[in-house]
Amino acid sequence: MESTYKILMMISAVVLILLSVILATNKLPKTPRFRKVRMTQVLLIIAFSSLGIMNILCFIKGYHPEIESFITLIISLYQAFLLSSTMTVLIRPDYIRWKYLLTNLAVITAIVASMVILYFFFPKYYQWAFWIFAAIYFEQMVLYSTTFLFAYHATVRDADSYYADNNDMRLRRIRICFDLMLVVGISAFITITIFTDIIGYLIFVPCYIVCYSTVTGLFVHYIRKTAYILPAIEQTKITKEQETMNPPQPSYYLPSSVSIEALRHEISAWTENKLYLRKDIPYSTIIQELNTDIPTLRWFMKKEFGMDFRSWRNQLRLKEACNILEKHPEMNIDEIREIVGYNDASNFSKDFKKLTGLRISEYKKAAATE
């Protein structure tokens, strides 16, 4: 069992150092918009490197149950802070400020200093104080999880208001990654409080290797898969500032017959040019193209089509997908999804079945036999 522990520690150290190198070579735009994302990438490199070094020391010295839980708790306190801050910045950079980072770092360092003093100079008191420190760590996970969830739901709302596309599934990748990190944090807590023998570490270490590899993947693919949320967050801040300076006056809205007829003409031309196939287009751009405003568009869609703009446009996209499948059943499903403007494969599959009553593969097979 001891040899298995040492091998696992060395594998973990190699993986963590490799992840640090990958992050160090990952290039993010050097613009103010990505400043905090770049900062958290550096924090992540520090977190992975320090943990990798600790694993090398564990490989050299082997398993020592009397000190293992002490070291694991110290590392977990810092890792929970660094990783949760990283995930929160990825989903909503404006939620994490320097004051927040420095305050948390100071508090955690004070807690760790107290642990070190008690462990080395007052070991008799450390035995019962350990449970207080473990409880602090658990409370820390609850606090950071709450902060992340507030940031996550705020970003979902902003993206939903800013873009005409449904982006829930795209943002859910980050939510799932955070949930993985929380599982690792809870497994660390269980390892130091319940399963305190070597078997606990043999389960815990592979868990955090998988989790940290997933987090690294988020950074590597951040520009392509997640950075689209930044304009939505920035626009929300601008809108709130404008509303504070000029609060809107509540009133019942009814567009004129002239504006309705003009919008009907614009939508006809917009549809004919298949502009609905584009993705990641803000509502503001669509409003300009249709030469209208949001209240008029909402009113028109409800009265004319009995649905909102997003649902109406998705129907056009799905009908286009059906046309492509009928004419070119040999085409790849992901390729068709990209052509018709869907970002997420699961949303595409769900909406397609809802409209046609068939799975995409079933529809494709039927089209091929005709």
Angle at 345 between CA 340 and CA 349, to 5 degrees: 85
Q: What are phi and psi of 164, to 5 degrees?
A: -85, -5
With 0.85 as the threshold, say if the pTM is over it.
no
* pLDDT at residue 98, rounded to an integer: 83
Contacts of 186 (CB under 8 A, 6+ apart): 141
Distances (CA, A) of 205 to 55, 116, 254: 10, 24, 62
Q: What pLDDT sits at residue 108?
A: 94
Contacts of 152 (CB under 8 A, 6+ apart): 91, 92, 171, 174, 175, 178
Torsion angle, alpha carbons of 313, 314, 316, 319, to 10: 180
Residue 322 one-letter amino acid: C
Helices (H), 194-250: 198-220, 222-225, 229-245
Q: How many other CB atoms are found less than 10 A from the CB of residue 368?
A: 12
**Residue numbers in the chain where pLDDT is lower than 50:** 241-252
Assign domain 255-369 to its CATH architecture.
Orthogonal Bundle (1.10)
pLDDT for 257 equals 65
Structure tokens at 4: 């298995």
Same CATH topology for 2-233 and 255-369: the answer is: no
Domain boundaries, the chain: 2-233, 255-369
Tell me the Cα Rg of the chain: 26
Question: CA 233 to CA 157: how far, in whole Å?
Answer: 10
User: Which two tokens mark 125?
Assistant: 């008191």
The predicted pLDDT at position 329 comes to 84
Contacts 24+ apart (CB under 8 A), 57-63: 58/5, 58/6, 58/9, 59/6, 59/9, 59/10, 59/13, 62/2, 62/5, 62/6, 63/2, 63/5, 63/6, 63/198, 63/201
The CATH label, of 1.10.4160, 1.10.10, 1.20.1070, 3.30.70, for the domain at 2-233 is: 1.20.1070
> Between vectors from CA 196 to CA 191 and to CA 200, what angle results, nearest 5°?
55
pLDDT at 176: 84
Distance CA 14, CA 21 (A): 11
